[in-house]
A and B are shown apart, each in its own frame.
Chain A
Amino acid sequence: MKIQVIKESVSKFLEKDYDVLDLFYKMPGDYEFTKKEWDDFHLVPDYLLKYQNELFLAFVIVEIEEKEKILEYIKKYSSFLPFKVFFVKDDEIFEVDTETFSKKYLDKIKIISDSATKTGSWFSPKKSQDGTWLKNREFGKRGEEEVIKYLNLMKIQAIDLNFNSPDDERSGIQDWRKFNKMPDGIAKKDDEVYFFDAKAKRSEKWVVNERDYKKYQAKMEFLPVKIYFVYLTYDGKKIRKLFVHNVNMNEHEILFMGHDKNKVVDLSEEVEEIG
């Protein structure tokens, strides 16, 4: 948990110089993970930083021994965006040269206490607590797999932003407000770098929850966002069709769906069939 607190603190620190988008895992509750569970986490950059028109992907490390896997990762994805690495030791922060791994002292850093990062009360909507959520999650995972398959077929390189955390397989997440739901990944096609997110569907409805759409729009400050609508057979085993929508600031029709009149954005006029 300590590393989460450090990452939160570094995020605050970097806000002095950059626009910061946190990509790192935020534990949505008071959970204890085993070492194996921590080891199973995917390596994901911790931040997307913007300085004027320049973008950077960034990692924060607390053990210099972590450099090997970070360097390997940077080498693999260096064509996407330039990388930055920050090293925190005690109450000092350094920027690490990604070529030589030499450290440059930046400043003292104030580590936010663990208790300050807690929200005080849990927020766990009822619908996240029954088994339906897990089934939907599985169906959603199938959509993600099909999008990755499509990107591979198109030779589009992608950075996976899914953490592979134990939250993927639990219902009744204690605090949804802390759950840092990022798009599924960052893709690079020719010179275009963009966020992508898969929406798995059983029927042809090009709609996205209004709250989610606003979150996508907010991310456009950093990178364009594409939503892939994946239409699967009812059992989720096979793909039927694939559409893409480029998130934008246009005015969209709002619809009220389902028994709970969920507010959704209708994107049916702005989708492109791609597979």
Chain B
Amino acid sequence: MTGRFAIVSAGDALQSGPPPVTPRAVAHRGGEANHSAAALSAQFPGVVLRTAVVWGETTVFVRTESVLDVMRWLHEDQGQRYDYLSDVTAVEYRDLDQPIEVVWHLRSLPYRRFLRVKTQLEKTAALEVPSVWPIWKAADWMERECYDMFGIKFIGHPDLRRILMWEQYKEGFPLRKDFPLRGRFSRAEQLRQALAQNPEAKYSMEELSIADAFEDLPEEMRKRLGAGERTGE
């Protein structure tokens, strides 16, 4: 990692070998596991509960309290370099006794690898997992969505509030299995509460002008604007 915005080309950490091919006739269960799964078990003994390969993709189940350590290692270890967080979501099973699973989809562009990390949350305890926002800033909105839909609290998230439903939404968490499809309130009550939301309370109605954003602009653009170039405002 040379700079903050180092350019990564896909596969540049691999030794020169045959070019990547699209796998064909992938088995439903079984097959070769991602090398990162074994490395993870060796690095964190007792943390990886089990590993499964489904449709050629590797899933590792880890202990909830170790999620942040595992993720940080996967991101920073030079043999892993999972630099791209493509999804954070959760799964609740129809069997209400099954724990809720939180799922992270990681991709390592330099090694061309995909890894799915899961952790299980018992419903009897508080639904809390550590936020991976300190590692990948992309987790910001995805964790907010996961909180909005499932009510899972991401400890350490800088701004954990609803993102799809409005912030005063009172009916609960829509993707939970105990949530009725039409919501809990009558339609009139839902409409009354929706009309009472005040979008302007959180979102500024003022437009950002070039002058306000001047300090955040790139160097060369500041130079051009300083020389008198018009912005069209």
Instruction: Judge: A and B partners, yes or no.
Output: no
Footprint of B on A, CB under 8 Å?
none
